[in-house]
Amino acid sequence: MARIRWVKESEATGDAATAYEEWFAANPGRPEVPGILKCFSLRPDFFRDVVNMSDRVHFSEGHLSRRIKEMIATLVSALNLCPY
């Protein structure tokens, strides 16, 4: 559990439960919601926006190849001294 208590899948109720159900439906075979996304579970409406935002940038036919996008992702996280 993160230091800010997010909503666990098993304890989700109301809109948080709905948001999680939608995510599992869109991501069959995933055992749990990734931690980075669970961070947004305190605001299920925003959780959906974040999921949509990351999907849109990735799945939409963008201007940059996926390879370049992943290079950017790797570099930014390294620069942010984020564990990678």
Partner 1 sequence: MQDPNSDVQACLARADIAAAPIPENERALMRFVELVTKHAYKTTDDDVEALRSVGWTDPQIAEAVYITAMFAFFNRVADAFGLEDPNYFATIPGWWAKAEETPG
Residues that bind partner 1 (CB under 8 A): 2-4, 6, 27, 30, 34-37, 39-40, 53-55, 57-59, 62-64, 67-80, 82-84
Nearer to partner 1, 18 or 57 (CB): 57
Query: What percent of the residues of the chain are helix, what percent strand, and what percent coil, each to the nearest 5?
Result: 60, 0, 40
In terms of Cα–Cα distance, which of 45, 54, 36 is closest to 18?
Answer: 45
In the bound complex, what is the minimum distance in angstroms from residue 13's beta carbon to partner 1?
Answer: 21
In terms of Cα–Cα distance, which of 22, 18, 20 is closest to 8?
Answer: 20
In the bound complex, what is the minimum distance in angstroms from residue 58's beta carbon to partner 1?
Answer: 4
Q: What's the length of the chain?
A: 84
In the bound complex, what is the minimum distance in angstroms from residue 14's beta carbon to partner 1?
Answer: 21
